[in-house]
Amino acid sequence: MGALFAKLSSYTGSSTSSTTDAEPDAETPRERLKREMVQYEQLNVEKDADILIWWKVLEPNFPLLSKFSRKYLAVPATSTESERLYSLAGLVISYLRTCLTGEHAEWLIFLGMNKDYVPKP
């Protein structure tokens, strides 16, 4: 849970010093996030609950955590990535490459899908 807190607090500002010029009740985003996480850990969530609906209902209680839940629990509604993968596989595995082994085909597809991340010479 500590690693998750560190990652989430980096999104909301990691200021650890308290504000002296602000109102005494004002919370920093880090303090708010920590308070929300403590409250969240005290809740019992049903295993069968629809987690997206659960977060929508409790959004007023957990405004920061609910933003992260929408970002990380939502599934994209498109099949674009899988279609690109099958298209690339069709280009790699063809009648012209009948001697290509399964391992080499896998590597070529992997490199083709990740070519933006491979350093250029």
pLDDT in tens, 2-28: 554 455 455 444 444 444 455 557 888
The band of 38, judged by pLDDT with boundaries at 50, 70 and 90, is very high
- Those residues with Cβ within 8 angstroms of residue 121's Cβ, 6 or more apart along the chain or in another chain: none
> For residue 6, what pLDDT is reported?
53
Taking the whole predicted model, whether its pTM rises above 0.85 is answered as no
CA 72 to CA 39: how far, in whole Å? 20
Q: With CA atoms as reference, report the closest residue to 58 among 2, 4, 49, 8.
A: 49
CA 94 to CA 76: how far, in whole Å? 30
> For residue 17, what pLDDT is reported?
44
CA 29 to CA 25: how far, in whole Å? 13
9 vs 67, residue with greater confidence: 67
pLDDT of 103 strictly over 90: yes
